[in-house]
Amino acid sequence: MLKETDPEVYNLIRAEETRQQRQLSLIPSENFFSPAVREAVGSVFAHKYSEGNVGQRYYEGNQYIDELEELVFKRARRAFNLPDDWAVNVQALSGSNANLAVYLALMEPGDVMMGMYLPDGGHLSHGWSYEPKAQVDPNELVYLGGSRKVHITSRLFKTVQYKTSPKTQLLDYDEVAGIAEKYQPKLLITGGTAYPRLIDHERMKEIADRVGAYYLADIAHEAGLVIAGVAPSPVGIADVVTLTTHKTMRAGRGSMILAARDMMSKINRGVLPGLQGGPHNHNIAGICVGLGEALAPEYREYQRQIVINAKFLAGQLMDRGFKLVSGGTDKHLMLIDLTDQLLSGKQFAKALDKAGIVTNFNTMPQETRSPADPSALRIGTPWVTTRGMKEESMIRIAEWMREVMAIAGGWVDKSEADYLRLAASSGEIGRIAREVEALGSEYPLAIKSARYAPSRIQGNSSLY
C-alpha cells in the first residue's frame, strides 16, 4: 500500500531498514523490537483519544483502551514484582515527560532537586544548566549550574548536581550524603545515561530519608535488566521509579511510572492535565506486548547475555589498549575514555560509522572538552544481543574498533571536511564495513530468528 501511495516515504523506510541490517548499533539506548510490538504500535489504537484514566475518561468509546491499560498494569505488576500498594502510569509520552510529571506532583517551583552531574552521565531532565565558557573544577564534587538554563527543570527548580569521584569515577555515597545534608533537596534523583556501574538504591533512599527528600530512581536504561534480575530493583525502595520502555526493555517507545497508589494519584494529575492531553494508545499497545514478552524465560536469558556481552566487550577493548571509565561495566553500557588516544569522541564516532559501527560521542567524568566534541565514546550491547550475538562477535567488534582507531588516527590533523572525506573513501574503512555487514548477515534483524524470542505470550497469543 505505502509503496504505491507514497513511494518517497516507502523508499526512506526501506533504506533505513537496509542501514539497520548492514550496520551494528552499539548505542546503548537503542534496541530492535519484535514484529508483534511493531504490529501493535501500527494498530487502530492510534486512532483513539482517551484523555483520563481507566474508568474516568473524558471521551466515550474507550472500553478497549481501558482493558488495554488494565492489561499493562497486570503485566507490569508481574514484570517488576510490584508491592500490592503500588500502581502504574503508562501514559507519559517519554522518559523526560515521566520525570516532569513526578516533579509536578512532588515539588513546587523553587524547590531544590538533586541529581547526577550531566557530563558524568546524568540526564538533562534531572536538572541541567551551565555557565558558557566557564571552566568547571574537575575536583569539585558538587555543581550548581549556571545562567544558561538548558532544560526546563533548571528554570523551575533550584538544581544541585553530584559528581563521581575524580579518583575512581564511581559515585561516592558519603559525598552524596554530605551534599544532600548541605543543600536539603526536596527530591533526590539517581539514574544516568552513561554511568556504567550499578546504583545502591538502599543507600540513596537512606540519604533521601535523612534529609526529608523523596527518592526518584530513574531506570530508563536498566529497566530490562531489572525485570530479569540482573540489575538491582529500586521498586519498593525508592518513593517513585521512572523508566523508558525502548532501551534494554525492548518494548516499543514510551515510558512508565511506578509508585505507591497514594502518590500515583498525584502523579496521574501531573501527566494529565499537567503536561499533556490524550496518551498515545498505539504505543501503550506496543508496551503491553513488550511486557508480555518480558514475562517469558527467554527474556531473562536475553538480559543476562546483554551483560555478559558488555563485560566481555569491555575486557576485549581494554586488552587492545582502550581505557574505560571506571575500569569496566556492571551492566549494558560502557564509556571509552579517549584522552590517551589519537581521536576525540566525535572523530572516532564518525569514522566508526563509515565502518558500519554506530556509536555516539559522549562526555565523561572530569571532562575538559566541549559536549559537541567530547573526550569519550559511549557504547552498549542491547541491540547486537537482540540480533543473537554472543562473545565471539564481541571479539570481532573490539578488533574492528582498534583497527578504525589506527586507520583514522592518521587523519587527526585534517580539517573536519577532509577527515570525513577520507573516512568515506578509505579502502581499509570500506573493508571493515563489508566485514561488519557480513557479520550482520549472519544475525538478521528479526527477533523471531534470534535466540531470545518467546514464541507465545501466556500460552494463548501467538507473537509470530
Q: What is the largest CA-CA distance in the chain?
A: 65
Phi-psi map region of 185: left, alpha, beta (phi>0 left; psi -120 to 50 alpha): beta
Write the CB contacts of 124 (distance below 8 Å, at least 6 apart in sequence). Answer: 96, 118, 150, 151, 153
User: Catalytic positions, please?
Assistant: 49, 51, 218, 244, 247, 253
All cell numbers assigned to 124:
538533562
102 neighbors 240 (Cβ within 8 angstroms): yes
DSSP category for residue 148: B
Identify the residue whose cell numbers are 551492566: 331
What are 112's strand-pairing partners?
A: 158
Residue 159 burial by Cβ neighbours in a 10 Å radius (0-12, 13-18, 19+) = buried
> How many whole angstroms separate alpha carbon 242 and alpha carbon 308?
25
Cell of 66: 481501558
Give whole-number Cα distances, 228 to 116, 175, 225, in Å: 25, 31, 5
- Residue carrying the nine cell digits 587527526: 412
Strand ranges across the sheet with 255-260: 86-89, 255-260, 240-244, 214-218, 187-190, 112-116, 158-162, 142-143
Residues 6+ apart with CB under 8 A from 179: 114, 141, 142, 160, 162
25 forms beta bridges with: 358
CB 317 within 8 A of CB 400: no
Cell of 318: 581494554
Nearest to 388 by CA among 314, 336, 445: 445
- Is 245 within 8 Å of 254 (Cβ atoms)? yes
